[in-house]
Structure 1
Amino acid sequence: AAATLGGLGDDDGGPCIRLVVDETLGDDAAAVGRIGGEAFRVSVSESGIEVRGATPAGVYRGATVLRQLRDPEGAATPIPAGVWEGAPAYAWRGAMLDVARHFRTVEEVRRLIDLLADHRLNVLHLHLTDDQGWRFEVPGFPRLTEVGARRAATQRGHGPLATVEPGIHEGFYTTAELRDLVRYAADRFVTLVPEVELPGHVQAALAAYPELGNTDVGDPVDSPWERFGVNPRTLAPTEASLVFGRAAIDALCDVFDSEWIGIGGDEVPVTEWEQSAAAATRMQELGLASAHDVQPWFTAHFVAHVRARGRTALAWDEVLEGDVPDGVRILAWRGPVAMRAALSRGIEVVACPDLEVYLDYPQSESAEEPIRVGPPLTIERAYTLRVEDGAVGGQANVWSEHLPTRDRVDFAMFPRLAAIAERLWEGGEPAPYADFGRRLSTHLRRLRAAGVRYRPLDGPAPDQRRPGVPGKPLTIEAREHIVAGLVARLLERSHNASAEYRN
């Protein structure tokens, strides 16, 4: 079935650009294992231009391709004749933006949505809360934005030489602003996926409501964390914490129409639960054998609440170290071990391995790279991204500890995101980089015309360097060793499960 959406007429009144929904394109794409709903075909001839899509989303993807056939600087040059068609390998092709560590304005988020759509990506995952800031309103908990959205100082640099510099950093999105962003993204066939961090990475929330924490351990906090890293603060395993978490989830469900609601779950230390007498009493009441059982208890409750709202919970792969309830999609950041653990248990999984897609990592080994955090992630390495068979897709993660401005976000994301976007569209084994590299020069012209302050291929421009700001260089091999330690409990659980299955 085909339906004409409309067209743009030439001077004689005849259609020169036709937009057509043609469901058969989707059937053909699905038959070869592609995502049919975004299939498109662009035909250019002397008689006119036709953009066909299996759905309106497919038409939009085709129109994006058509725009990219023009001269990047907008010069009046002919569009080449020919046929361009395609369909994506994965339904989830995204990027995560951390707006908790450094807040980005509504206008900047809109701009990023446009850039994702230009790269035929279809998910923007917003990391809305963390130790350093709380960025959305929750009815009944006004202090989350009154106290939790504002800090008085911020860490400068990374590693043992890092300092803390005074200076107010603040911001949050009103409910109306978030609803507007959801609509704006939907018009471009991008889904906004929200995330609230539970039960760790919660100092901003505990600054607002300290009674939700393990109050018999350590001193109370009265402001979001000014430093970066893994914070020992966690929610106490109480009914009040569950009420709070459910309220935050409800607030997200009421604003976002995404099927997926992020509930965090990464880097949750058990330190406070091990030291707290109140937590020990509560664990005994709940029948929990150790502090390591507390996070799975939280996860089960929050997943159940997300499901009660008709949605799917999105969680980081640390939750695989316990029992994972039905109705969870996993973000696998700890490489193939986490990916395969989720797939072996029949759990939907999104690939975001840090060594290929963590765009806060430096883009070379050069000392000119600003604030080196983690191992080098070159654009060539980003293009090696391979999503495990059976996964629903992948995404790049943009952690913003050391990305305090829009230009710094641009620098970190582009052009590496273009490489990742192509890999998520094409799927399968990576092709040789040379062909992508040959086409990249034209794409850099597009980025430049769009005002994107990307990193030049030959290294940071002078004003993109941050001399004197300390970093902590790391080799790929050293990072692989660290990740191996991080997944040790997960491997142990997988081995034990396999032994039980064989017995």
Structure 2
Amino acid sequence: HRATVPAIAAHVDAAAARFAWRPDTPIDAVPELSASVDWLGGGGQGTGQGIRLTLDDALGAAAARAGRVGDEAFRVTVSADGVEIRGASPLGVFRGATVLRQLRDPDAPAQAEVLLPAGVWEGAPAYGWRGVMLDVARHFRPVDDVRRLIDLLALHHLNILQLHLTDDQGWRFEVPGYPRLTEVSARREATQRGHGPEATVEPGVHEGFYTTDELRDLVRYAAERGVTLVPEVELPGHIQAALAAYPELGNTDVGVPASGPWERFGVNARTLAPTEASLAFGRAAIDALCDVFDAEWIGIGGDEVPVTEWAQSEAAAERMRALGLATPHDVQPWFTAHFVAHVRARGRTALAWDEVLEGEVPEGVRILAWRGPVAMREALSRGIPVVACPDLEVYLDYPQSESPEEPIRVGPPLPLARAYSLRIEDRAVGGQANVWSEHLPSRDRVDFAMFPRLAAIAERLWEGGEPRPFADFMRRLPTHLRRLAAAGVRYRPLDGPSPDQRRPGVPGKPLTVEAREAIVAGLVERLLDGSAARARAARK
């Protein structure tokens, strides 16, 4: 009963009589709280003591005064006479209902009577953005898998699921006026196997996309569980899948047109050409997302955009001269400004990766800072809302140990203890884990990469501040692993991957933390140079 994850402040009376929760236990709630009733399994028809759900504005006010997110505040009170869940809002009640679910014996059958300890559990999160980014572009995940992940996020009090819907390797949503995006861009004929110089490309069709109706249903499903779906389209780079369908949008006077989505992984030189047609395409994609998703934020990508083609293209050079752009490095900020303006015209906020900080960032942008503290602090110094997702702590495709049996060794090791060390900079709006799926081709592989590290990250995003002792988390984790097992999650065991979770023969590219830090230092050089230039200009 003390094993809640994330950790929730509790006052338990071990000597008091416990509450018997049965399948027919009645749940008393107003219709506004029906999502929480459903989350608890629905109200039974039994008589006697039950579970009461109620709203209490005072909880939110007290949480806000303490610097927490007020509308998610809750208090759960359990006694032999019944259970009361009070919340500052329907969302707060839902968080309390989630805690109550965690008080059940994880191994008890769903229809069994369980005894809950008497006590009080209460809290509110430190951050309003507690998220996960799932890459469904490299390896598509069916709708049922996304629903299941939404349930798992709700179990961990996470409230954002960012869907990375497009990349070089696949396009996964419909855009009116561009039918070939789902006919051509959502299917590739082969896929890279492994990472590094020994990686190969193996034939085999990989395909899939979400219909507009499927996405609308996912938005509804997530909202009922306190999760906001945030869509992302990659612009103007990571775009080969789209260019395979509409090559005229690319820099057609350099290179060979793409014949299909990219079958390899990494940074691709292909980009949109700086044309009106490309802007119209980007606006159409953004419109399609705004018409389906109700999130405040619309992701527009912006990461890892090489200037290679713009530097080589005569057509791009002519366009740059007409636009007054001095160098190829000015093209991405030009794209960003247009797409941000369009997102704002739709009443939303653009979400972009921290590479856009290398140019002027227009108002109406929230930054995903993945390149460590340098990018995070640069965004904060410029007054830009920022979400922390530093790769060394939250990139869950990184291996979980240095063992050669750890699949697949891409990037430096990110063990559970390092994930739990996540520290969010003051003034950030929150953080998220990023699950890139190049080497996660199945649901089980996604489970293995995410859990239990996501449980550690979820706790850090709920609590904020400095991490509590890691031993405290580890004391509670075994009970939580039983919850995950009961939910069918194929998590990585604490002592290493099980034999069927290893991937012998799949090449990787081991990397130390120090080597990765050096790489990231190189990646932020332009950002630091730009920051220094702005500082000099401000002093003049």
Q: Indicate whether the TM-score tops 0.5.
A: yes
Shift of 1:167: 0.2
Equivalent position SS for 2:528 = helix
Query: Aligned ranges for residues 37-186 of structure 1 at < 5 Å?
Result: 37-74=71-108, 76-186=113-223
Shift of 1:495: 1.4
CA contact (8 A) 2:56 2:87 kept: yes
Partner of 1:18: 52
CA contact (8 A) 1:333 1:352 kept: yes
CA contact (8 A) 2:158 2:227 kept: yes
Larger mean Cα displacement after TM superposition, 348-357 or 487-496? 487-496
Q: Percent identity?
A: 80
Distance 2:128 2:453 in 1: 20
Partner of 2:494: 457
Distance 1:210 1:233 in 2: 11
Distance 1:12 1:240 in 2: 63
Query: Could you state the TM-score of these two structures normalised by the residue count of structure 1?
Result: 0.98
Shift of 1:46: 1.2
Partner of 2:30: 5
> 305, 310, 322: which is aligned to 2:347?
310
Shift of 1:15: 4.7
Shift of 1:139: 0.1
Distance 2:473 2:125 in 1: 17
> 256, 259, 262: which is aligned to 1:219?
256
Distance 1:37 1:116 in 2: 18
Shift of 1:496: 1.5
CA contact (8 A) 1:95 1:125 kept: yes
CA contact (8 A) 1:41 1:83 kept: yes
Partner of 2:459: 422
Shift of 1:432: 1.3
Residue by residue over 1:245-275, the C-alpha shift from the partner in whole angstroms, topping out at 9 and shown as x without a partner, is 0000000000000000000000000000000
Query: Could you state the TM-score of these two structures normalised by the residue count of structure 2?
Result: 0.92
Unaligned runs of 5+ in 2: 1-27, 32-36
Partner of 2:63: 29
> 212, 230, 248: which is aligned to 2:267?
230
Equivalent position SS for 2:204 = strand
Are the structure 2 counterparts of residues 12 and 116 from structure 1 closer, same or farther at C-alpha, using a change threshold of 3 Å?
closer
Query: Aligned ranges for residues 400-419 of structure 1 at < 5 Å?
Result: 400-419=437-456
Shift of 1:334: 0.2
Distance 2:117 2:80 in 1: 10
Distance 2:345 2:259 in 1: 33
Shift of 1:500: 2.1
Whichever residue aligns with residue 193 of structure 2, its letter is: R
Equivalent position SS for 2:30 = strand
Shift of 1:370: 0.8
Query: Aligned ranges for residues 149-298 of structure 1 at < 5 Å?
Result: 149-298=186-335
Shift of 1:5: 2.6
Whichever residue aligns with residue 143 of structure 2, its letter is: V
Distance 2:476 2:532 in 1: 45
Are the structure 2 counterparts of residues 26 and 215 from structure 1 closer, same or farther at C-alpha, using a change threshold of 3 Å?
same
Whichever residue aligns with residue 50 of structure 1, its letter is: E
Distance 1:9 1:499 in 2: 65
Equivalent position SS for 2:344 = helix
> 355, 363, 371: which is aligned to 2:400?
363
Partner of 2:9: none
Partner of 1:343: 380
Distance 1:91 1:314 in 2: 15
CA contact (8 A) 1:9 1:15 kept: no
Whichever residue aligns with residue 324 of structure 1, its letter is: V
Equivalent position SS for 2:251 = coil
Distance 1:165 1:56 in 2: 49
Distance 1:100 1:491 in 2: 31
Shift of 1:501: 2.1
Equivalent position SS for 1:78 = strand
Whichever residue aligns with residue 35 of structure 1, its letter is: V
Shift of 1:62: 0.4
Distance 2:94 2:496 in 1: 34
Distance 1:77 1:11 in 2: 17
Shift of 1:148: 0.1
Larger mean Cα displacement after TM superposition, 491-500 or 98-107? 491-500
CA contact (8 A) 1:43 1:51 kept: yes
Shift of 1:12: 6.6
Shift of 1:13: 3.0
Distance 2:193 2:356 in 1: 31
CA contact (8 A) 2:49 2:81 kept: no
CA contact (8 A) 2:189 2:203 kept: yes
Are the structure 2 counterparts of residues 22 and 147 from structure 1 closer, same or farther at C-alpha, using a change threshold of 3 Å?
same
Distance 1:430 1:488 in 2: 30
Whichever residue aligns with residue 286 of structure 2, its letter is: I
RMSD: 1.2
Distance 1:9 1:304 in 2: 47
Equivalent position SS for 1:60 = helix
Whichever residue aligns with residue 157 of structure 2, its letter is: R
CA contact (8 A) 1:131 1:202 kept: yes
Are the structure 2 counterparts of residues 67 and 12 from structure 1 closer, same or farther at C-alpha, using a change threshold of 3 Å?
closer
Whichever residue aligns with residue 30 of structure 2, its letter is: L
Shift of 1:9: 7.3
Whichever residue aligns with residue 83 of structure 1, its letter is: V
Residue by residue over 1:216-273, the C-alpha shift from the partner in whole angstroms, topping out at 9 and shown as x without a partner, is 0000112000000000000000000000000000000000000000000000000000
Distance 1:396 1:442 in 2: 22
Distance 1:49 1:220 in 2: 64
Distance 1:9 1:210 in 2: 56
Equivalent position SS for 1:73 = coil
Unaligned runs of 5+ in 1: none
CA contact (8 A) 1:4 1:21 kept: no
Distance 2:106 2:46 in 1: 28
Are the structure 2 counterparts of residues 45 and 122 from structure 1 closer, same or farther at C-alpha, using a change threshold of 3 Å?
same
